[in-house]
Amino acid sequence: MPHVQIHWFEGRTAEQKRELAEALTNEICRIGRCEPESVGIVFTDVDTSDWARAGKLFSDK
């Protein structure tokens, strides 16, 4: 039942998400010893104006 939530900057392509979903699931099953069917992954694209580090919006960096 691993449920993986990934927040990252918007701009990745469907192909990158496709490839990453497969790669992450393989590693989670290999190392975490679980079945692929049990692994859920949700991608959340975030605008750089909605993410801050060290008090500054990334859109302002």
Contacts with its own copies, residue ranges (CB under 8 A): 1-9, 12, 14, 16-28, 30-34, 36-37, 39-46, 49-60
Contacts of 50 (CB under 8 A, 6+ apart): 57
> Residues 1, 2, 5, 44: which is the catalytic one?
2
Q: Is the dihedral of CA 53, 42, 13, 34 positive or negative?
A: positive
Active-site residue, 36 included: no
SS3 state at 3:
strand
Looking at the annotation, which residues are catalytic? 2
